Structures are given as structure tokens and as C-alpha cells.
Amino acid sequence: MAAETLEAKVARLEKMVQRSQDVQEIQNVMSRHSFLDAQGKNREQVAEIFSTKPDVQCIFHNTTIYKGLDTIIHYYCDNWEKNMRPRMLQQARALFPEIANTKENELVGFMKMHTACTPFIVVAGDGQTAKGTWESPGFVTAPGEGKFMAMWMWERFAVDFIKENGKWKIWHFCAMIQMSTPYDKNWVESALERREMKMDPKAEKEPSVPVVINNAYDPRKLCGPCTPTFPKQPVPYETFSETFSYGQ
């Protein structure tokens, strides 16, 4: 077996360094998602870390797929700013009338955290795309009808990334609820009481592409990674055409 040439060794080491840098940058993108999401900065998040490719996609809460940047912006940004934030403020003011009715107060009482833990990231051999999965323990706190809601919400993320102008961007994003429950109730009880959840029943129009890729916890059913349809973790691949997609 011929000895490795100096040029080949340098090329191999450069590729290893680039791969390590790519993995760190991808983890930073997901951490940035968690940070901006916790602040309710949906529009900033889409502008900063989402792909502009025509087939960019998001699947939220196991129920709906949003295809294309315009659709994502409509539901994730416009609806959040025009409908959900003002409604939360009015619900908060119904409980605490001393809260001023100003735009700056729309997120009074709102607090959430969706962490990005246990990263499992695979970068394509050609360095142009990548895939990753994360577990995401977290919580959501927000005003509701007649009271504030304090919920544990544990999710899993499965994400395709693409490099655009030298920057890693979210291409296909799946946020899959594993369990959600009020802080004072166990998730088995909540699962037995759960009703179908929609992103926002008062939205201007219903999303057009329903999807179920993962059932949240239910003691009567297979759920999460135990189900055949649950997205698998990435495996090594050379180019995206050789692997599966976390989009649909």
C-alpha cells in the first residue's frame, strides 16, 4: 500500500477541520433557533437562519407542514404578530388590568424554552448539506382564557440544513411534540384528556397540508421513536440525493 502523500494528508486534515467547523456552526444555528424562539422573535429567526430555497419546509407540532418561505412567514410570523401576540396581551390584561395596552406589552407573562440537547449531526461528504436530530426538554408559559398556562413541553427536532453563501441554514425543520402537560399534572393524565391541537384556530385561513409523522405520548399507542413513521437519525452520505429528507 502506497504511503499517503503530503498533499493528500493536508487535504484530508483540511477536510476534517472543515467538518468540525460545520458541525459547530450547525449546532450554533439550532441554539440560535432556541434563543430567538424563546423571545418570540419569529420573523428575525426566519430572516437569519432559514433557507430561501423554494422547497424550504417546517413541520410544527406533528400536525401541519408549511411549504415555502411565504407560507412559513404567513403562519409563523404574520399570524404570530397580528393575531396571537395581541390576543395574549388582552388575555393578560383581563387578569391584570393594570398592564398597559401597548405593543411593547404583548409578551407580558410569556416565557418559553425549547432547548437543543443531544445533538446528532451528519455533514454530507460534499459539504453542502447536513442532517441532525435533537431532543428538546422545555416549557411554555402564556396567558390563556381566565388564567395563565404553565406547561411542560418536551419535543424532538429533526432537521435538514443547506449551505447558502457559505452559511448553514435550516432547510427542512420538524418539531415533534413528545409530551405536553400542565406543570402540576403528569403527562399520562394529560394524554388521556388531550384533544386535537391546531397551531391557531383563529388564523385567517387553515394551513393546507396536514401531516402526522409522530404521535405525542399516549399510553394506549405506540409513540415517538417507537413508531415506524418517526424520523430516523441521519446516516453518513455523500450528497443529498443519496439520503432521505426530513421534509415531505
Q: Where are the domains of the chain?
A: 11-234
- State yes or no: pLDDT of 121 exceeds 70: yes
Of 80-84, 101-105, 129-133, 199-203, the poorest mean pLDDT is in 199-203
- State yes or no: pLDDT of 199 exceeds 60: no
Which CATH entry fits the domain spanning 11-234: 3.40.630.30, 3.40.190.10, 3.10.450.50, 3.30.565.10? Answer: 3.10.450.50
Q: Bigger pLDDT: 235 or 228?
A: 235
- State yes or no: pLDDT of 110 exceeds 90: yes
HSE value, Cβ hemisphere, 13 Å, CA-based, for 73: 12
With bands split at pLDDT 50, 70 and 90, how would you rate the model's confidence at 207? low
User: Each residue of 142-193: pLDDT tens digit?
Assistant: 999 899 999 999 999 999 999 999 999 999 999 999 999 999 999 999 999 8
